[in-house]
Structure 1
C-alpha cells in the first residue's frame, strides 16, 4: 500500500457524490440513526463492485457498451426518482417523531440501489485498483482484496463523518423552515444533476 493510493482513495471517497448526498439528507431528516444506517448502506454497496472487479465481471461490463448503458441509465433513472421524491416532500424537513421515520431496510435498500447502479464505481475498481496491483506477481488477488478493503473502510469513515456532521447542524436547519425547504430543493437538484452527469459516463 502506498501514500499515493491512500491519498487518491481519500479524494475519491470524500468528493461529494450520490452516496454523500444521500447520507447528508438522511442525517438531516432522520438524525444519527438514519445517518449511520445510510453510511453503512453506502459502504456495503462498494463490496459487490470490488467482487465484480476481482472476478472479471466488471471488465465485461466495462467492455460491453450495451451492458454499460443499461446499468448507466438505470442508475440515472433512480437518481431522477430520488430527485422527484425529494421535491414531493411537502413543507420543511421533519424532526424525529414529527413524521413517519424510514425503516432501516428502506434506507439501506435506497442507498444500495443508488450505488449498485452507479457504473462510475465499477470504472473506479477497473481503472484505478489495477494500477496498484501487478497482475503477474504472486498474491495479486489478495493484494487487490486488501486495497479494496481499505477503500471500503475509508468510505465508511468518510460517510459517517458526513452523516454526523449533518446531525450536528440539523436542529439549526430544522428551526428555519425556509432554509430547510431550500436545502431540500438543493438535494433534489443535486440528485438530478448527478443523474444527468451519469448519462454521459463512458466505459
Structure 2
C-alpha cells in the first residue's frame, strides 16, 4: 500500500495540476456555457471516464507501447485531433435553437458524455502523462504495483472530476444568462466550435 506521506504529496501535486485551466477545463466550460450546468458536468464525467480507461491502460502496460511507437502515437494523436476539429466544425455550422429557455438544449447530457469520453481516450498526451507521472509515486516494496497504480489513478480521476464540476457549475450560471440574449445565442455555437477546432489543432501540433 502507498505510504501516507507519498499519497499526500501526490494529492497536493494533482490538486494543483487539475485546477490549472487546460484542455479538459476548456471543453467543460465551453459545454456548460453553451448547454447548461448538467451538460458541463456530463462532459466532466466523460473526461473522468476516459481517465479511468487511461489508468487501466497504464496498469496493463499498453501506455508503454504508445510511448515507444512513433507510428501508434501519431495515429492516436491525429485521430483525436481530427475528432475535436470535427466537433468544432459541426458546432460552427449547426443552427442554434430559437428558444433554449423552454428546455431544448443544443446537446444532451448523454451525447456530451460520450463525446468527452472519446475525446479524452483519443488524447495520447493523457496516456503518456499517466505513464510518466504515476510510476514516480509507486514503490514496489510497499506491495502490489498494480494496486498502487490503481489508487493513484482513482485519486487523479476523482480530483479531475471535482475540478471540472466546479468549472461547470460556474460556467453554467453564466450560460443561463447568455442563453437569454438572442445575439449571444446566435454566436455562442461558433465560439464553442472555434474552441474545439483550436484544441484539435493544438493537439495535432504537439510534439512527443
TM-score under structure 1 normalisation?
Answer: 0.87
The reply on whether 1:192 has 2:197 as its aligned counterpart is yes
What is the alpha-carbon distance in structure 2 between the residues aligned to residue 105 and residue 67 of structure 1?
29
Structure 1 residue corresponding to 2:102, chosen from 97, 101, 108: 97
What is the alpha-carbon distance in structure 2 between the residues aligned to residue 55 and residue 93 of structure 1?
48
Correspondence 1:159-178 to 2 at 5 A: 159-178=164-183
Which residue does the alignment assign to 2:85? Answer: 80
What is the alpha-carbon distance in structure 2 between the residues aligned to residue 170 and residue 194 of structure 1?
21
Long gaps (5+) in structure 2: 1-5
Which residue does the alignment assign to 2:45? Answer: 40
Displacement of 1:125 in angstroms is 0.2
C-alpha contact 2:39 2:109 (8 A) present in aligned 1: yes
C-alpha contact 2:14 2:156 (8 A) present in aligned 1: yes
C-alpha contact 2:48 2:161 (8 A) present in aligned 1: yes
* Change beyond 3 A, Cα 1:67–1:186: same
Post-superposition Cα deviations, 1:131-168, rounded to whole Å, max 9, x if no partner, equal 11124652322121111110010011111111111121
Displacement of 1:181 in angstroms is 4.6
C-alpha contact 1:93 1:174 (8 A) present in aligned 2: no
Structure 2 residue corresponding to 1:14, chosen from 14, 19, 26: 19
Which residue does the alignment assign to 1:68? Answer: 73
Over the aligned positions, Cα root-mean-square deviation in angstroms equals 2.4
Number of aligned positions between the proteins:
203
Which residue does the alignment assign to 2:3? Answer: none
What is the alpha-carbon distance in structure 2 between the residues aligned to residue 79 and residue 41 of structure 1?
15
The reply on whether 1:111 has 2:113 as its aligned counterpart is no
* Change beyond 3 A, Cα 1:98–1:191: same
TM-score under structure 2 normalisation?
Answer: 0.85
What is the alpha-carbon distance in structure 2 between the residues aligned to residue 69 and residue 51 of structure 1?
21
Displacement of 1:115 in angstroms is 0.5
C-alpha contact 1:71 1:117 (8 A) present in aligned 2: yes
Displacement of 1:182 in angstroms is 4.8
Long gaps (5+) in structure 1: none
Structure 1 residue corresponding to 2:133, chosen from 116, 128, 145: 128
What is the alpha-carbon distance in structure 2 between the residues aligned to residue 143 and residue 185 of structure 1?
43
The reply on whether 1:151 has 2:156 as its aligned counterpart is yes
